[in-house]
Structure 1
């Protein structure tokens, strides 16, 4: 009888803990949703009452209406398509070699000593400061914009990947060596999985940098894309259209972040 009573008490405690976790999760979701809604409502009220100048800060409802009109006319789709093409092309062009080189730098000391000074010297240079050189090399076509994004993405990914490999617990590398693991097995079964958590953080950082870079690159040297849309509407003082571009950048940044977080939960569920 006493044992049954203890088991029943344990089940009740566990049930209460589960209910508490559920309440906490619901509260977190409510807070996550409520903060942007609160800011948008406040912005709407302040703009409608002219507490803030509606010429410079048009109400969110006006921005959404403008977004709908631009989407319906087909104008917006063309800018979005070209920007996404540049972002994805540059992102892949920067991430793939960065992962390969980061793994080699983390695994092999000669690679580390050869490439690390170059990376440390080039990384502090803003990518946009290198834009004239990129244009000289690749011209003013699409590839120069893709290369600009690739360069900006490359550095955080290669550094995080190398750091991820070097931070792998030494016991795994010792076991691999003791059992005579081939370089191929060490690469794919130790270095790559072990570096994934830190590598994915670098990729997350890289996607944010890619969005920043594409906007700046399209403002400086393009006649299409979301950055061009923002800059041209700003110069024409069409501020609702300008804000549409900013909303799109924010949306894609959030979407890409969710995709990478989802990928992270699948690839490294222990994190």
Structure 2
């Protein structure tokens, strides 16, 4: 008994040491993710201050931070960010919801897939931004044209990934559903929708990145506010600190939205 107890104690100590080693490695990785951007900013600051980088084109990060603060105090920041987030949110939903519905129908029903797929494949290669002049003519220069542009850009990756997710469901689940004569409602909510979620969420992840790219370009044409408008007008006026503020905002929101969608994915798909 004492020998078995010693073996268990040694095994426990080995597991503890391995756990501590894994923890140190994880902390090291987390530290690197924090250090790398700080190092880049410090290097940028030093190169700008020493004149190696032309401050007309690469103002020091400290100047950009001061500009960011001034824009917050003046209320300019809230105006541009609020307008862009509103357009992104509405346009994203307007593209994702129809994309999911049509994608599920394409995956579940062969006639619908054969009818819709050629249209999707024909329209998908056309950049939505190339249609922006027509969209502005049809929907004006207000928020609606920006929302339609974003929705059109988001729709295609979502519908294609959702349909692919349904079609890639393991055949064994379909056989079980057929053997037990599952109702259409149960088949949809218990097999088709959960089975397509992994690939569908990847399409939604792509869609949010495309939405951010689209809003910047859309707000450069026929807009009077928004982050894209801020970037474009600052560039034309050679107010580069303001331009960099806009670029940093887009980068920040892209990272934030990606984290939110990843957290949602972990919640909905714990087995992955």
- Normalising by structure 2, report the TM-score: 0.97
1:51-130 superposed matches below 5 A: 51-130=52-131
SS of the aligned residue for 2:224 comes to coil
Higher mean C-alpha displacement, 64-73 vs 29-38: 29-38
Q: How much does 1:164 deviate?
A: 1.2
Matched residue, 1:215: 216
Q: How much does 1:140 deviate?
A: 2.3
- What is the distance in 1 between the residues matched to 2:22 and 2:110? 47
Q: Could you tell me which runs of 5 or more consecutive residues in structure 1 were left unpaired when the two chains were aligned.
A: none
Matched residue, 2:47: 46
SS of the aligned residue for 1:42 comes to helix
Matched residue, 1:260: 261
- What is the distance in 2 between the residues matched to 1:99 and 1:5? 58
- What is the distance in 2 between the residues matched to 1:39 and 1:269? 35
- What is the distance in 1 between the residues matched to 2:152 and 2:32? 37
1:1-271 superposed matches below 5 A: 1-271=2-272
- What is the distance in 2 between the residues matched to 1:220 and 1:138? 13
- What is the distance in 1 between the residues matched to 2:41 and 2:75? 26
RMSD, aligned CA? 1.0
SS of the aligned residue for 1:221 comes to coil
Q: How much does 1:141 deviate?
A: 2.1
SS of the aligned residue for 1:53 comes to coil
- What is the distance in 1 between the residues matched to 2:137 and 2:184? 40
Higher mean C-alpha displacement, 244-253 vs 5-14: 5-14
SS of the aligned residue for 1:119 comes to helix
Q: Could you tell me which runs of 5 or more consecutive residues in structure 2 were left unpaired when the two chains were aligned.
A: none
- What is the distance in 2 between the residues matched to 1:9 and 1:117? 65
Higher mean C-alpha displacement, 49-58 vs 102-111: 102-111
Number of residue pairs the alignment of both structures matches: 271
SS of the aligned residue for 2:225 comes to coil
Residues 100-122 of structure 1 show CA distances to partners (whole Å, capped at 9, x for unaligned) of 11111111111111111111111
- What is the distance in 1 between the residues matched to 2:105 and 2:174? 15
- What is the distance in 2 between the residues matched to 1:165 and 1:20? 41
- What is the distance in 2 between the residues matched to 1:240 and 1:250? 15
Q: How much does 1:137 deviate?
A: 2.5
Q: How much does 1:81 deviate?
A: 0.6
